Structure 1
Amino acid sequence: MLKGMNRRYWIGVASQDHVLKGVSGGFAQLCHGKEAPLKRMNPGDWIIYYSPKQNLKDQAPYQKFTAVGKVSDNRVYKVHAGKEFSPYRRKINFLKCRETPIHPFIPNLTFIKNKRHWGYSFRFGHIEISEHDFKLIVKQMVKI
């Protein structure tokens, strides 16, 4: 399931409520609907969603990994989602998983360079991570 040549691993950042919409619809939407981050991904790549909050307007921290999925095709598409909002999306096959708090992982994740200010690592909303980091997280989220 997790092996393959040229496979890349990603983290997308979104509130839990937005992640759940994507999971139920079978799509990824990143960086407020931008096309560029989705185009960086290829079929067979994996994505883990990290949710700093439960919903966009919340102030309370949530700080959990909330979904895991695999990019299923080569198509990035645009949808009309309401008043003057037409985000780009990409089809993802999500796995059944359990949400997992980030804090136990922080010391061992190589993409987090500053362990004290770890949240800074997520500021761009879409980051590539190593296979090692991916497997470390997924091992706790998914029964393989």
Structure 2
Amino acid sequence: MHKGDFVIYYSGKKTLEGQEKCQEFTALSEVTDGEIYQQTVSENFKPFRKRVKLMDQRDVSILLLIPNLESIKNKEKWDSILDMDFLKWAKKILN
């Protein structure tokens, strides 16, 4: 990710530790610089991040988009494709 890139955030669950499904795109941001830093979210979760500017948006269920995503052949098993094919179809969603 570089300065000026946009990032779409997908939330599979309502909370990090919970099991309740969310299955929505819940945020949109723009990368504001190239610096990478590590943030402690919990004792066992310390992700690396970049500074971003959050954009105005509304949550969108991925379930509404699945039928229109040609790269997902098996519409019942879409979650296994999400990470692998993300960049390819994220561009399509943004256009």
Q: Aligned partner of 1:52: which letter?
A: G
- 1:87 and 2:87 equivalent? no
Structure with the larger RCO, 1 or 2 (CA within 8 Å, 6+ apart): 1
* Aligned-partner Cα distance in 2 for 1:132–1:53: 24
Preserved CA contact (<8 Å) 1:110 1:133: no
The structure-2 alpha-carbon separation of the partners of 1:102 and 1:87, relative to structure 1 and needing over 3 Å to count, comes to closer
The root-mean-square deviation of aligned C-alpha atoms, in Å, is 2.5
**Aligned positions, number:** 94
Q: What stretches of structure 2 of length at least 5 have no aligned partner?
A: none
TM-score (norm 1): 0.54
Q: What stretches of structure 1 of length at least 5 have no aligned partner?
A: 1-40, 136-144
Shift of 1:102: 1.1
Aligned residue for 1:129? 88
Alignment of 1:1-144 (within 5 A): 41-79=1-39, 83=43, 86-123=46-83, 127-130=86-89, 131-135=91-95
The structure-2 alpha-carbon separation of the partners of 1:114 and 1:88, relative to structure 1 and needing over 3 Å to count, comes to same
Higher strand share: 2
Shift of 1:72: 1.2
What's the % identity of the aligned pairs?
Answer: 33
